[in-house]
A and B are shown apart, each in its own frame.
Chain A
Amino acid sequence: MADYYRAEDLARFGEVGKAAPRLWEKFNAWYGSVFADGALSEREKALIALAVAHAVQCPYCIDAYAQTCLEKGSNIEQMTEAVHVAAAIRGGACLVHGVQMRNTVDRLSM
């Protein structure tokens, strides 16, 4: 299990395009546009990506976007706060479903 993910596989991402090259091409074009400077800067987008990578727990994205954040001039303090944002949303999403729990308890209880 410890070797299920391999760091060197990140560099092989492009192989996924071999069996569906036109879809891969569309994905890459869209992906590149998503991360370009826009209303949000490249660095802001990289920090968002880092946070989302932690929320979805993708080790490839965590590796890639930790590096990207550094290369966009961010630092460990900013990046750690971004991870906490992701954790807060995940934690909050869990907790707010407690209202659903309470609804059920109220329905079933005297």
Chain B
Amino acid sequence: MGESLLKQGHALAVLERQRGVIEDGAAVEPFERRLAATGIGELRATGIDVFQINVGRLCNQTCRHCHVDAGPDRTEIMTRQTMELCLAALRQIDASIVDITGGAPELNSDFRWLVEQVRSLGRHVIDRCNLTVLVLPGYDDLPEFLAAHRVEITASLPYYLEQQTDAQRGEHVFERSIRALQRLNEIGYGRGDGLMLNLVYNPVGAFLPPRQAAIEADYKRELARRHGIVFDRLYTITNMPINRFLDYLLTSGNYDAYMRKLAGAFNVEAAASVMCRTTLSVGWDGTLYDCDFNQMLDLRVGDGLPRHIRDFDAALLARRTICTGKHCYGCTAGAGSSCTGATK
């Protein structure tokens, strides 16, 4: 199992330097200029439909493409006190979806408490799950807990074959993921009866995702045929040039070509429906961001806006101007990319 960039003392772990690499190192025009040229202009939020909470950077995996730089050596964990601030903010808005992410959010010792509290407010919970956490010793009852609270599981499985999955996520991850999926199916997930189980495809390398409907058909056919696994939806998510994927791009010599590919595939329709327009991202320490990607670059919400969840102001944040950078080309390339897959 590898180490995070932070633990390695990697140059990219200094976020100011990383932001410089992305803005100055990529030979593509500034994202803001591209938006202006399309007539979209300044990107503004249209509301807060999804309240995304990153409960920490601790993870039991160290995936090569991770934009979070999550891993077993990370110590940033959201406290219950910060979670209570999140709940206080949630009570002020109608956001129907709370999207809990990490790291591996389930490794936060208050994860279950948070789920219970959010559900008691009548909001729907999405758990961004790496699957292998469900087969860790001591987490055997987690699938039943998630089912009891009707939590929607959106789980990473970059490909339906072992070689590609393990290349991105680590040795034995595929085999453990299959076991976890079979367990979830056994208790009713993914069978079309209301316990939603979605999978996420990430390219295992420096290329764009395929058409979502086409690869979903492949996953459904192959996972059923090979492993007897069923699920609801497949989402394709473009790899973002942030943290460990950025490091991969630089060390493999693919950075320039990948950024040119992202910018070259700019889709104005995808740009108009980017997820940051309807999502608010809360960091492990309560800091506010436009999205999880901005969070990992420590690009906080803009000037004049509440910067911490304790100062939450729904009116201001629901119509905020969104902070952008060249990494945003990742969400606007091709069919677009978001936490729920292709946007077009």
Contacts and interface: CB of A to CB of B under 8 A. Distances in A.
The answer to whether A binds B is yes
Interface of A: 41-43, 67, 70-73, 75-77
Nearest to B260: A11
21 contacts: A42-B211, A42-B214, A43-B210, A43-B214, A67-B207, A70-B203, A70-B205, A70-B207, A71-B207, A71-B208, A71-B209, A71-B210, A72-B210, A72-B214, A73-B201, A73-B209, A73-B211, A73-B214, A73-B218, A76-B163, A77-B161
B276 to A, nearest CB: 25
Given A41-B214, A42-B214, A75 B207 contact: no
Interface string B155-170: 0000101011000000
Top 8 closest pairs, chain A to chain B, by CB? A73-B210, A73-B215, A70-B207, A72-B210, A71-B207, A71-B208, A71-B210, A73-B218
A70 B324 CA distance: 29
A42 B335 CA distance: 15
Contacts of B207: 67, 70-71
Nearest to A72: B210
Chain A interface SS verdict (over half): helix
Contacts, number: 29
A36 to B, nearest CB: 12
Interface in B175-214: 201, 203, 205, 207-211, 214
A54 to B, nearest CB: 19
Contact of A75 (B164, B208, B209, B214): B164
Contacts of B203: 70-71
Interface of B: 159, 161, 163-164, 201, 203, 205, 207-211, 214-215, 218
A75 B210 contact: no
Contacts of A41: 214
Contacts of B215: 73
A67 B208 CA distance: 9
Contacts of A71: 203, 207-210
Contacts of A70: 203, 205, 207
A84 B117 CA distance: 57
Nearest to B334: A71
Given A71-B207, A71-B208, 7 more contacts: A67-B207, A70-B203, A72-B210, A73-B214, A73-B215, A73-B218, A75-B159
Nearest to B209: A71
Nearest to A74: B210
A35 B215 CA distance: 18
Contacts of A76: 163
Contacts of B205: 70
Contacts of A77: 161
B228 to A, nearest CB: 21
B342 to A, nearest CB: 13
Nearest to A73: B210
A73 B214 CA distance: 8
A43 B217 CA distance: 13
Contacts of B218: 73
Nearest to B208: A71
Nearest to A70: B207
A105 to B, nearest CB: 48
A92 to B, nearest CB: 30
Among B163, B201, B208, B211, max chain A CB count under 10 A is at B211
Nearest to B215: A73
A71 B201 CA distance: 12
Contacts of A42: 211, 214
A7 to B, nearest CB: 9
A44 B201 CA distance: 20
Contacts of B159: 75
